[in-house]
């Protein structure tokens, strides 16, 4: 699933080609990709609208529109990509929706597994409800992270994935952050010391920033709007490196399931 660095990369790379452009037409190739309103109302409302901005909230993209109080909200889910192409380009396989722009470009929403969704809403909460703080917000401090973990018996890995607690962190970057902080993924959240919380807070920000710098991780389905891959996965220390040796101590990396999510860690650097 595209996580914060991937969605931030998509936002940054789409913005110069989309902001200030008018939507000439909307093609919906699979009606269920539109969660709200109906596919016909979705099309009717968007045609003629000018895109005035793109923002990210957690793993969601939000497109603001010049002559509308509504927001276009998008989630790529497990396998979605937004691909930028000229109007003459044939849509790739698994394209579920197309936005046609007046600068001669279009945006293909490609989604092999059909989990991605589109909304047209008055308020963002209509699409995604409650989300926790953004990891790069000023008020996301070590003290706030400590407060979010306080009293929680769930594994810290599961807590990092809880979007109600912290927005945007997914499986890949949670593994990387826990490794960087030297924390065993099954530790209860409440068991972390103040020093460990500070280390984890720093690690979260650093691994996410590195992911953005490297344009996201293309392990399975993620592509940048240009169709190019990201390179963040090439720098991963533990994520998706099962059976390889730890880059710090040389111990063979381990793999377990935490609340059903595949989890990679070093049993020496992240002791139980």
Domain ranges in the chain with CATH number 1.10.8.50? 142-265
Nearest to 61 by CA among 12, 98, 99: 12
Give catalytic status of residue 3 as yes or no. Answer: yes
Assigned superfamily of 4-128: MutM-like, N-terminal (3.20.190.10)
Residue 2 is a catalytic residue: yes
Give span(s): CATH 3.20.190.10, the chain. Answer: 4-128
The model's pTM: 0.95
Catalytic residue among 22, 91, 261, 267: 261
Predicted pLDDT at 220: 82
**pLDDT score of 221:** 85
Model pLDDT for residues 174-204, shown as the tens digit of each residue: 999 999 999 999 999 999 999 999 999 999 9
d(CA 73, CA 62): 5
142-265 under CATH 3.30.2320.50, yes or no: no
261 a catalytic residue = yes
Span 82-96, pLDDT tens digits: 999 988 899 999 999
Average pLDDT of the chain? 97
Choice among 56, 59, 96, 224 that is catalytic: 59
pLDDT > 90? residue 258 = yes
HEC string of 131-192 equals: CCCCCCCCCCCHHHHHHHHCCCCCEHHHHHHCCCCCCCCCHHHHHHHHHHHCCCCCCEHHHC
């Amino acid at each position: 699933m595209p996580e914060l660095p991937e969605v931030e990369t998509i936002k940054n790379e789409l913005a110069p080609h989309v902001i200030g452009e008018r939507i000439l037409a909307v093609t919906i190739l699979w009606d269920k990709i539109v969660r709200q309103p109906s596919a016909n109302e979705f099309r009717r409302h968007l045609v003629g609208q000018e895109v005035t901005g793109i923002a990210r909230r957690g793993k969601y993209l939000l497109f603001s529109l010049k002559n509308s109080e509504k927001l276009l909200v998008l989630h790529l889910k497990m396998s979605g990509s937004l691909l930028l192409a000229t109007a003459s380009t044939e849509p790739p396989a698994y394209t579920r929706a197309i936005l046609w722009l007046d600068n001669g470009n279009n945006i293909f929403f490609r989604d092999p597994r059909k989990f991605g969704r589109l909304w047209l809403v008055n308020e963002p909460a209509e699409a995604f409800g409650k989300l926790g703080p953004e990891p790069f917000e000023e008020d996301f401090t070590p003290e706030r992270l400590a407060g979010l973990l306080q009293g929680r018996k769930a594994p810290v890995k599961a807590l990092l994935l809880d979007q109600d607690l912290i927005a945007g962190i997914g499986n890949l970057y949670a593994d990387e952050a826990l490794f960087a902080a030297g924390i065993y993924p099954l530790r209860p959240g409440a068991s972390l010391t103040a020093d460990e919380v500070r280390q984890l807070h720093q690690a979260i920000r650093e691994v996410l920033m590195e992911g953005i710098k490297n344009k996201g991780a293309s392990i399975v389905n993620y592509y940048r709007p240009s169709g190019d891959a990201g390179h963040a996965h090439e720098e991963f220390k533990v994520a998706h490196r099962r059976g390889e040796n730890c880059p710090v101590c040389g111990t063979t990396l381990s793999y377990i399931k935490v609340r059903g999510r595949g989890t990679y860690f070093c049993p020496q650097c992240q002791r139980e």
